Amino acid sequence: MSRVSNRVYIGVGSNLADPVWQVKAGFAALAALPQTTLVQTSRLYGNPPMGPVPQPDYVNAVAAIDTTYEPEPLLQALKAIENQAGRDLNGQRWGPRPLDLDILLHGNSQYQSDTLNIPHPGMPERAFVLYPLAEISAELVIPGMGLLSDLIQKVDGTGMVPIEG
């Protein structure tokens, strides 16, 4: 019996150890996952950090993948990629990191567990997620949140700078 493939959107970010390189390496690691096809990536965006910890600016992007991974096994695979990139998985919340991979959307489903919420609950407030997501899927409807085009109008994009690289 074959598993159903879902379109999944992954937030990719870094602000340590050559962030542009880290984000691109994150895309390559996503493309290398078994049972997964990297469909599209957004441009990279520079933006100020979120949270109370003083740290360098981030480079963020979004990747669209088609995968047969269910949410929890995908989360474990993403944590393994972060660990290989040098992320301290016991590090400070909202602290600096070489690579951050977040499941934003998994098909049209809503999923909740002790370790994972899909859609990512912070999406409506995060320009660094909404801008690159809109770039690759402008007509997206986010389950339980509404139209991406409506959400992006309500978020402050100040500081979001597309970067070449």
Average pLDDT, integer, range 144-162:
95
The pLDDT value recorded for residue 28 is: 98
Model confidence at 120: pLDDT above 70: yes
- Note whether 57 and 48 are within 8 A (CB): yes
To the nearest 10°, report the CA torsion of 129, 105, 68, 74: 70
As for how many domains the chain has, the answer is 1
In a domain, 1, yes or no: no
Mean pLDDT along residues 128-147 = 96
Token pair listed for 141: 């409807």
Q: List the structure tokens of 57.
A: 């600016």
Average pLDDT estimate for 76-98: 85
Give the mean model confidence (pLDDT) for residues 105-129.
96
pLDDT at 90: 64
Judged against a pLDDT cut of 90, whether residue 91 lies above it is answered with no
Q: Up-side HSE of residue 79: CA atoms within 13 Å toward CB?
A: 12
Q: Give the active site residues.
A: 87, 97, 100, 102
121 domain residue, yes or no: yes
Residue 120 lies in a domain: yes
Evaluate if residue 2 carries a pLDDT over 70: no
Query: Which pLDDT belongs to residue 50?
Result: 85
Report the distance separating Cα 45 and Cα 129, nearest Å.
10
Residue 93 has pLDDT above 80, yes or no: no
Within-domain flag for 71: yes
- Give the least confident one: 85-94, 102-111, 147-156: 85-94
> Looking at residue 89, which CATH number applies to its domain?
3.30.70.560
Q: Is residue 31 part of a domain?
A: yes
87 within 8 A of 99, measured Cβ to Cβ: yes
Does residue 122 contact residue 128 with C-beta atoms inside 8 Å?
A: no
Residue 73's domain comprises: 6-163
HEC letters along the chain: CCCCCEEEEEEEEECCCCHHHHHHHHHHHHHHCCCEEEEEECCEEEECCCCCCCCCCEEEEEEEEEECCCHHHHHHHHHHHHHHCCCCCCCCCCCCCCCEEEEEEECCCCEECCCCEECCCCHHHCHHHHHHHHHHCCCCEECCCEEHHHHHHCCCCCCCEEECC
Check pLDDT > 60 for residue 23. Answer: yes
Q: Is the pLDDT of residue 82 over 90?
A: yes
Q: Is residue 90 part of a domain?
A: yes
pLDDT at 52 > cutoff 90: no
pLDDT at site 68 = 97
- Token couple for 155: 């978020």
pLDDT for the residue numbered 162: 95
Model confidence at 165: pLDDT above 60: no
Mean pLDDT, the chain, as a whole number? 93
